[in-house]
Amino acid sequence: MSYPFVFDICPLIMRTRGILLIRDAIFVLGVYPSQSKFRTVRSELKHELKVILATLLKDWRTLCSKSIGQLQAHTDALQKHLEWFSSVGDKESSDVIRSNCTSCLAYLANLYLTIAPTDYPAAPAMEYCCDAALSTLGRLTEGMVMEEYNYFDLLLGVSKYFRARVCLSPHQRRCAGREP
């Protein structure tokens, strides 16, 4: 007999669930060898650990995909505005929008680059999107003074920051079954 309630709304219960997972993980990994009682490795927990790591990966990918969608829509809208302001000859406004659009495209390209290695089946599509974003970026920045946007600011800076937050370590990726 069990409760039919949805318990993921109860933080304290989820917290207990979390600490049990951690404890089980510690026993499985043998971090506490002195606790001889818990040396018995439970295979289902090993699988659970793998699932946790895989889930982290999946969550991050979901987050990236969501960000990409939003950013892509925002960038498209910016480009339309840019075209309109350029067509009416409003240089000041179009410069502001171009600057904004450039940042968005740079960030977008980095998101594509970040998600591509963690999403193997969609990697070619991601690379194509990244190329498209970079092409647009190049076209937009043709007439711009680039001193204020060096390569590091546009790409590597964002990329490093984002990758540090998103990517799993090689060990985690191996545990998650993503790498041999």
Question: How many residues are listed for the chain in this entry?
Answer: 180
Query: Is the CB of 7 or the CB of 151 nearer to other proteins?
Result: 7
Nearest distance from C-beta of residue 6 to other proteins, angstroms:
6
Residues that bind other proteins (CB under 8 A): 1-8, 10-17, 19-20, 22-23, 26, 35, 37-38, 48, 50-52, 54-55, 57-58, 120-121, 176-177
Token pair 């606790």 is at which residue?
35
Nearest distance from C-beta of residue 133 to other proteins, angstroms:
26
- Rounded to whole angstroms, the Cα distance separating 102 from 96 reads 10
Query: Is the CB of 55 or the CB of 70 nearer to other proteins?
Result: 55
Query: Is the CB of 29 or the CB of 146 nearer to other proteins?
Result: 29
- Rounded to whole angstroms, the Cα distance separating 159 from 90 reads 33
Query: Is the CB of 56 or the CB of 132 nearer to other proteins?
Result: 56
Of 81, 92, 79, which is closest to residue 139 (Cα–Cα)?
Answer: 79
Nearest distance from C-beta of residue 62 to other proteins, angstroms:
11
SS3 call for 3: coil
Half-sphere exposure (Cβ direction) of 116: Cα atoms closer than 13 Å: 16
Nearest distance from C-beta of residue 99 to other proteins, angstroms:
40
- Rounded to whole angstroms, the Cα distance separating 28 from 21 reads 10
